[in-house]
Amino acid sequence: MPDVGLLTPGADLAPGSPTAVTDDVAVLRAMLRAEAAWVRVVVRHRAAGPGSAPNPAPDPDVDPDSDADTDPGATAAEIDAVEIDAVVERLAGADDDALALATRLAHAGAAGGNPVIPLVAALREAVGPRLAPVVHAGLTSQDVLDTALVLVLRDAADGAVADLDRAAEAAARLATEHRDRPALARTLAQAAVPTTLGARFAGWLQGILAARAFLAAVSDALPLSYGGAAGELSGVLEVSDMAGLSGATQPSGGAGQSEGAGPLEGSRQSEGAGRSERAEQSGGAIRPEDVGWAERSGPSESARLSEEAGVSGSADGSRSADGAVSADGHGSARPAFDLVEAWGAELGLPVGPAPWHVTRTPVVRVSSALAETCVTLGKVANDVLQAVRPGVDELREPAAPGRGTSSAMAHKRNPVLSVLVRRSAIAAPHLAAQLLTAAALAVDERSDGAWHAEWPALQQLARHAVGSAHAAAELLEGLEVDAEAVARNLHEGLPDAGPVPDVGPALDVGAASDAEPAHDVGAASAVVDRVLRQYAEQTRQDA
């Protein structure tokens, strides 16, 4: 039976749950997206090769199971693109079919140590003899699985960033409304000095802004994984030679977009450039190129890389006349990089200058960003959990039918949103540590066990980040402030600090105090203003 997240409430895998983008069906569909995109790239370049002729429509006598439904005048590449996309839809378009296939692959994957091997066999069988030789040609399992996990992580990061934006907006509103409200500051669990409630909320906001900027930038820069058997691209070179590659590197319709885009690709096809632009504007501190492992690479980048390597090729991908022909006859490496660049554009992923099979910088960076999201929101949850305790009573979580109930104590209203956010904050560092340890143990050209240890940790860490961001957004949007309790705790904790101010209604969910604070709160209000200016600037840049 499938894992539905029974033991991770708030990060469950039920259909429609924000965290369902990280489940096994999502990983399966991402693997199929990667494989289908590679087939489209190869057949497109094969059709564009010198001396190529349009292929006829699939012959039902040769390929009776063909799913293609194409225009009679369609090109060979268009026919093949429709065919591979139809097969992918048939295999995993419906949730029940996808779950059944993922279950079979989970069992069959034990034989080879990863789920890609049985997936390729199933896909080749499904497409029939005409396209089967193209499926996975020149690739290795790590190319596909790493790329699929990158696609899943980007979907997860999109959801988390959207909820972090909600959380930041709510925290900014709280900081504004309570900018000058005196409150008791506590250090080492003891009453310390007067501050303002707005300053505490501004501290939350500052952390959320930093986590959001880091996660968005790292996610935008997550690169395609490529390299073939041992990172040397020999298989891709063979494919490019057979395809008669002519240097046409971009999918039809421009970079990152294809007429033959698969049914499971969603909106990924054209977002590569947009992601880079957004990340450059987020927070002003981190841009994709600053992250350091991948930049958006087009045809000119492929040519530059090949020229720097001393393996120049002619525009049509033929062997150069200057003697740059390798001992095994492959000749120029440019056609291989052209294929890889086109694959990245098809999936909306940047392409780094070299494979990262055992240079796990992308995994290290994204695990750090996901963990930072969890622990940053954990600070918010910790403060709320302290403030809702009986005797403190300064804050209340938003109410909702059935939320916070107890099976044994009907009178309780448990702060369940904060509890679940804190749960993820506690779990995340250990998952990130597992990923860092795996990166530290990377060896040779493919790691024996360290790579495999990454997969579940990445999936669980992404799940916690998405779930905690969603819960934190809901928590902050409905957080209630008991102004009377805030004033009382300040007076009781620091009786010599000043009189108890007139706070108006006992439960204040938004009214700000216009009067000057009666306590010496230092520059707390100015701190709030500085953070709010940062938030306004970041919001303006992201617009």
Q: Determine the Cα–Cα distance for residues 213 and 282; give it in Å rounded to an integer.
A: 6
Question: Cα-flanking dihedrals φ and ψ of residue 49, to 5°?
Answer: -70, 160
User: CB neighbours (10 Å) of residue 396?
Assistant: 19
Pairwise CA distance, residues 334 & 279, whole Å: 29
d(CA 65, CA 367): 43
Cα 177 from Cα 510, distance rounded (Å): 6
Contact (CB, 8 A) for 377 and 421: yes
DSSP state, residue 507: S
Q: Which amino acid is at 191?
A: A
Phi/psi for 444 (5° steps) reads 55, -140
What spatial distance separates the first Cα and last Cα of the chain, rounded to whole Å?
A: 44
Residue 473 contacts residue 380 (beta carbons within 8 Å): no
CA of 347: how far to CAs of 58, 89, 260, 509, 515, in Å? 26, 17, 12, 46, 56
Catalytic residue status for 406: yes
Let me know if 44 is a catalytic residue. Answer: no
**Which residue bears the tokens 């390729």?**
120
Instruction: Please identify which of the residues 90, 124, 130, 446 carries the catalytic annotation.
Output: 446
Distances in whole angstroms, Cα of residue 211 to Cα of each of 208, 283, 285, 362 = 5, 10, 11, 17
Token digits of residue 90: 């048939």
CA-based R_g, the chain, Å: 27
Among residues 304, 406, 413, 533, the one annotated as catalytic is: 406
Residue with tokens 């097969």: 87
Please check whether residue 346 is in contact with residue 52, taking contact to mean a CB–CB distance below 8 angstroms: no
Euclidean distance between CA atoms 118 and 106, whole angstroms? 9
The answer to whether residues 374 and 209 touch, using CB atoms and an 8 Å cutoff, is: no
Show the tokens assigned to 317.
């991908």
Catalytic amino acids?
406, 446
